[in-house]
Amino acid sequence: MNKIEKPGKQAVRSLRMQERLLLATLDSIYEDGFQNASTTEIVKRAGVSRGAMLHHFPSKEMLIAAAIEKLLADEIEFIREEAGAYARHEKTIDDFVDFLWGRFSSRLFMITIDFLSSARTDEKLRDAVIPVSLNFHESLNEIWSQFFHYKNSSPEKVQTLLNTTLCLMRGMGIQTVIRSDDAYFESIRNCWKQILHNQLDEDPAG
């Protein structure tokens, strides 16, 4: 039997350094805003040299793209786990809507708002992050098709409703920047839950 070779100490240190850089990048964007997230501040947070950063990520755009890719990859796993619980009938569609709202009113969403806004007018950043964003949405579509099935609704209809749910969550997430009103956001979620119940016929396939 062939033994699985463990990575060497240098490789492990390199991976840990990259992890620190990515986490420091996300923290900097969240706390200071994208425009103020300088590489000088990032390497300081990560506790590494600028040369070490450039060795792994030759440009700020590449560093940002890698950090966002990590953020969204982790998010996909959270969503996949929650969708799996729904498919096993351990949670309801209401639970899933509330779960999504928790993600879109959190650190994740505030970071993505910042970098997407900046990417609109920054061609280098846009070129770096668009593939990452597209992969995220493709993964979401795969989750919808894998876990959400209804006897009386076509897969296309289910996917449209769930993508509409995401669009609603994004709009509500943006509103949290200027409005802090839990009752207001809960009333919107409850209204949308009822629409989903009606549209999905409340008859999940086994």
Q: SS3 for 150?
A: strand
Alpha carbons 68 and 126: distance in angstroms, whole number: 12
Q: How many residues does the chain have?
A: 206
CA-based nearest residue to 132, from 32, 64, 80, 81: 64
- Residue 137 tokens read as 């949405």
Q: Which residue has the tokens 């549209």?
A: 199
The separation between CA 189 and the C-alpha centre of its own chain, rounded to angstroms, equals 20
Three-state DSSP state, 153: strand
Euclidean distance between CA atoms 32 and 35, whole angstroms = 8
Report the distance separating Cα 193 and Cα 181, nearest Å. 19
What secondary structure, in 3-state letters, does 111-146 show?
A: HHHHHHHHHCCCHHHHHHHHHHHHHHHHHHHHHHHH
Q: How far, in Å, CA of 68 to CA of 129, rounded?
A: 8
As given in the structure block, the two tokens for residue 148 are 């959400």
> Mind listing the pLDDT tens digit of every residue in the chain (206 residues)?
455 556 677 778 888 889 999 999 999 989 888 888 889 999 999 999 999 999 999 988 889 889 988 999 999 999 999 999 999 999 999 999 999 999 988 888 888 888 888 888 888 888 888 888 889 989 999 999 889 988 888 889 989 999 999 999 999 999 998 999 999 999 999 999 999 999 986 555 55
One-letter amino acid of 176: T
For the entire predicted model, the pTM comes to 0.80
Contact 71, 26 (CB under 8 A): yes
Q: How far apart are CA 48 and CA 42, in angstroms?
A: 9
